[in-house]
């Protein structure tokens, strides 16, 4: 302290003491309060607690929902939800910050929701999510159809009954999702992502029946809009709502005012297909019959024509010539065969005469000595052994 500085004459609180005073003021005066805002930085810890920030354009409020409360409320929070929370303000002294301990979560009021709707619509439109060139075409004759809606709602029953009437060939797969409340957006997103990633359907319907703007709000959530946009399977949005469109309608590949209309868009009418097939079959029969008769007449006229008669006469003459040539060729072939047979017989007799074993056949004996045929007497050696060969064998002497 400098020599000229005047010492304080009153007590100065420590940081802890000051924080305790602030804590007492806030925690005594901000009990069981309500506040509205948009969720951001939502994070669920391993213990199941939710930590997030509730914000508007000018301020933000840290919030905590303990696991027991989250389980009781059956919560599934995500970023970008417009909600009203209720609870108590708590000051966390070690960090010198305050936060809200949330015990109640509800959808925001209609005025705020309408503002949020217009804000998100403008944002996504500026990003190009509504552009037509992003829209995927719907399959003409789908065999498998996915539906993301409540398993207990009337919407699914309407969709299924419409399919049974219009296109009973299709297989309908349901992915249950809540369609209102703070948990609905997350469940709808999971259903969309399931069908998109597994690719086990050819087209997908998301939606619900009518209701208030608050009830229909999950289909205006940013997370749902982005899931629809990223889907690799064509999506039909069918939300029965009081306003003209929902955000999911703008992003989806096709929009239907009701779930029943969505089913009509998704599949053809089998009766119309039957009539179309029958009509095409009749036209094909008529055209085929006419074409056959036309070509029959052409062939008949050609058969009677002078040119074809000339060709026929030439073919008849050629047939006679061919027959004559065939007979001459057969006669010549027979003559050649007889001639060759005589030559073959003559050669056979000559070969018989040249047969070295012919004398044996007549009873003569051949003498062998030292594996040589002895043909002259001076070649025979009397003191050595020899062999005699008859026609039926050889004997050693």
The Cα–Cα gap between 40 and 44 comes to 12
CA 25 to chain centroid, in Å, comes to 61
Say whether pLDDT at 1 is over 60: no
Portions of the chain given CATH number 2.40.50.140: 15-108
pLDDT tens digits along 169-210: 999 999 999 998 888 999 999 999 999 999 999 999 999 988
Given its phi and psi angles, is residue 41 left (phi above 0), alpha (psi -120 to 50 degrees) or beta?
left
Is residue 132 within 8 Å of 197, Cβ to Cβ?
no
* Entry pTM: 0.58
Tell me the CATH number of domain 142-268, given options 3.40.50.2300, 3.30.565.10, 3.40.309.10, 3.30.1330.10: 3.40.50.2300
Computed over every residue of the chain, the mean pLDDT equals 87
The model's confidence at residue 4, banded by pLDDT at 50, 70 and 90, is: low
CA distance linking residue 331 with residue 163, whole number of Å: 81
More confident residue, 66 or 337: 66
Question: With 70 as the cut, is the pLDDT of residue 365 above it?
Answer: yes
Query: Which range has the worst mean pLDDT, 44-58, 92-106, 301-315?
Result: 301-315
Q: How far apart are alpha carbons 178 and 151 in whole angstroms?
A: 9
- CA–CA gap between residue 213 and residue 117 (Å, rounded): 10
Q: What is the pLDDT of residue 289?
A: 83
Q: For residues 104 and 247, is the Cβ–Cβ distance under 8 A?
A: no
**What band does 136 get if pLDDT is binned at 50, 70 and 90?**
very high
| Sequence-distant (≥ 6) Cβ neighbours of residue 176 within 8 angstroms | 149, 150, 151, 187, 191
The pLDDT tens digits for 85-135 are 999 999 998 988 999 999 999 888 777 788 888 889 999 999 999 999 999
* pLDDT confidence of residue 323: 84
pLDDT category at 349 given cuts 50, 70, 90 is low
Average pLDDT, stretch 30-50? 93
Nearest Cα to Cα of residue 91 among 71, 70, 111, 64: 64
* Sole residue written with tokens 């100065």: 12
| Residue spans in the chain of domains classed CATH 3.40.50.2300 | 142-268
Rg of the Cα atoms in the chain? 52
Contact assessment for residue 47 and residue 67, using Cβ atoms and an 8 Å cutoff: yes
Please state the rounded mean pLDDT for residues 36-47.
Answer: 92
In words, the CATH class of domain 15-108 is mainly beta
Nearest-angstrom CA–CA distance, 388 and 368: 6
Query: 60-64, 79-83, 242-246: lowest mean pLDDT where?
Result: 242-246
Q: How far apart are the first and last CA of the chain?
A: 154
């Amino acid at each position: 302290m400098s020599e000229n500085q005047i010492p304080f004459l009153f007590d100065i609180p420590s940081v802890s003491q000051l924080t305790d005073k602030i804590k007492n003021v806030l925690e005594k005066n901000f009990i069981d309060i309500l506040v509205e805002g948009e969720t951001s930085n939502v994070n669920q810890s391993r213990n199941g607690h939710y930590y997030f920030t509730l914000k508007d354009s000018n301020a933000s409020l840290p919030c905590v929902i303990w696991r027991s409360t989250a389980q009781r409320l059956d919560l599934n929070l995500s970023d970008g939800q417009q909600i009203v929370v209720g609870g108590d303000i708590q000051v966390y002294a070690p960090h010198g910050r305050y936060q809200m301990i949330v015990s109640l979560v509800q959808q925001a009021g209609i005025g705020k929701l309408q503002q949020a709707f217009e804000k998100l619509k403008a944002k996504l439109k500026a990003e190009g999510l509504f552009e037509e060139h992003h829209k995927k075409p719907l399959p003409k004759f789908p065999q498998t159809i996915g539906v993301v809606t409540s398993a207990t709602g009337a919407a699914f029953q309407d969709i299924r009954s419409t399919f049974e009437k219009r296109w009973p060939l299709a297989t309908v797969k349901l992915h249950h999702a809540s369609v209102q409340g703070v948990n609905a957006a997350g469940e709808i997103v999971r259903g969309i992502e399931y069908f998109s990633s597994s690719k086990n359907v050819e087209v997908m319907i998301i939606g619900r029946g009518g209701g208030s703007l608050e009830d229909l709000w999950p289909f205006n959530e940013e997370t749902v809009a982005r899931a629809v946009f990223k889907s690799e399977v064509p999506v039909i949005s069918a939300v029965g709502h009081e306003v003209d469109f929902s955000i999911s309608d703008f992003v989806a590949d096709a929009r239907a005012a009701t779930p029943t209309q969505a089913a009509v868009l998704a599949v053809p009418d089998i009766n119309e297909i039957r009539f179309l097939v029958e009509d095409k079959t009749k036209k094909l029969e008529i055209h085929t019959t006419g074409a056959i008769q036309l070509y029959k007449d052409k062939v008949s006229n050609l058969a009677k024509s002078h040119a074809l008669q000339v060709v026929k006469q030439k073919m008849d003459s050629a047939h006679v010539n061919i027959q004559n040539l065939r007979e001459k060729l057969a006669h010549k072939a027979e003559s050649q065969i007889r001639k060759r047979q005589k030559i073959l017989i003559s050669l056979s007799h000559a070969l018989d005469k040249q047969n070295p074993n012919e004398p044996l056949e007549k009873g003569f004996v051949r003498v062998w000595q030292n594996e040589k045929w002895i043909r002259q007497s001076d070649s025979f050696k009397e003191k050595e052994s020899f062999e005699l060969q008859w026609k039926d064998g050889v004997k050693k002497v």
